[in-house]
Chains A and B, each alone.
Chain A
Amino acid sequence: AQSVTQLDSQVPVFEEAPVELRCNYSSSVSVYLFWYVQYPNQGLQLLLKYLSGSTLVKGINGFEAEFNKSQTSFHLRKPSVHISDTAEYFCAVIISGGYQKVTFGIGTKLQVIP
């Protein structure tokens, strides 16, 4: 079975500083990788996804992530965060050939400090 590990439950960062949210996955088959964002009292919104091709994917709001197959990682980065980026971020996988059941990480709360 596949699993997703987000090592950092909370990440405080000052406004305009860079941030990296870490995600590692485990799977015996190929996977598709996703990052979702959840703003306070809202549902999940897709931030970006890796399906195939270039390992560097760009998403909304200036976020990007890089798929590293050898390290089984899909870390999320942003060069300069804004207060509005304060939210919870979930890394997720769908196994290739599977029916689309999403396996989520436990989430990382990003707190941007003014």
Chain B
Amino acid sequence: GAGVSQSPSNKVTEKGKDVELRCDPISGHTALYWYRQSLGQGLEFLIYFQGNSAPDKSGLPSDRFSAERTGGSVSTLTIQRTQQEDSAVYLCASSLGRGTGPPREQYFGPGTRLTVT
């Protein structure tokens, strides 16, 4: 079946512009995560959606970053007034919802490489 897809695969934007990154999770996965992979910084958690619950935004680095998830499926990560330090690969992952047992496997998309010039 189809995995997690992300678009665009690459995005080059000028400093100060807004960008939107899209994530299509695996069908039936109620949990969705955004991570950022920066050179020398590893992978850092940004935001987590679980069903209809309020998202955990604790990883968003500034108020220029926001994300939404429409209809419990597709998610969009928006970065306003982009800065050069926003250049990174943005990864999306999805999983089955949280249960009472061990964590469910997260399936990652290929990522969107964002370059801010």
Contacts and interface: CB of A to CB of B under 8 A. Distances in A.
Contacts of B108: 36, 43-45
A103 B59 CA distance: 11
A103 B45 CA distance: 7
Contacts of B109: 43
Task: Bin chain B's interface residue count.
Answer: 20 to 34
Contacts, number: 58
Interface string A36-79: 10000111111001011000000000000000000000000000
A44 B105 contact: no
Nearest to A106: B42
Contacts of A32: 102-103
Interface of A: 32, 36, 41-46, 49, 51-52, 90, 94, 99-107
